[in-house]
């Protein structure tokens, strides 16, 4: 006759396997998000054209800083653009709907 396990006992291996697979998936997702964060670099030279104007990615980067609540002064410093340019982008950002605007993908 086989010995029965007490009703409160359970096999922990499937649960631990599930936790391990969830942790592995979370690490993968974390890597993807960190990759996106690296692309979001206000000082990235690809944010500007050779004549100093903002590229589409540069404008989106600027808008994302405004999304985060950064001031025009902070944006001008981080993006290495003039305060007037940051003000122009701030006004455009507001016309596009501010933080509720449709975001575009970077890089």
Q: What are phi and psi for residue 20, nearest 5 degrees?
A: -60, -40
Domain assignment present for 64: yes
The CATH number for 46's domain is 1.10.10
CB 64 within 8 A of CB 78: no
Write the pLDDT tens digit of every residue in 63-96: 999 999 999 999 999 999 999 999 999 999 999 9
Write the pLDDT tens digit of every residue in 45-60: 888 998 989 999 899 9
Domain assignment present for 11: no
Instruction: Give the C-alpha separation, 1 to 59, whole Å.
Output: 74
The total of structural domains in the chain comes to 1
For the entire predicted model, the pTM comes to 0.61
């Amino acid at each position: 006759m086989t010995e029965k396990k007490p009703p409160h006992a359970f096999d922990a291996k499937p649960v631990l396997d599930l936790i391990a697979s969830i942790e592995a998936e979370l690490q993968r997702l974390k890597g993807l998000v960190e990759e996106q964060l690296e692309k979001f670099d206000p000082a990235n030279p690809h944010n500007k054209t050779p004549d100093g104007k903002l590229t589409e990615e540069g404008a989106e980067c600027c808008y994302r800083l405004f999304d985060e609540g950064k001031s025009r002064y902070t944006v001008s410093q981080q993006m290495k653009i003039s305060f007037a340019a940051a003000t122009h982008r701030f006004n455009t950002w507001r016309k596009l709907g501010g933080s509720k605007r449709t975001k575009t993908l970077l890089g």
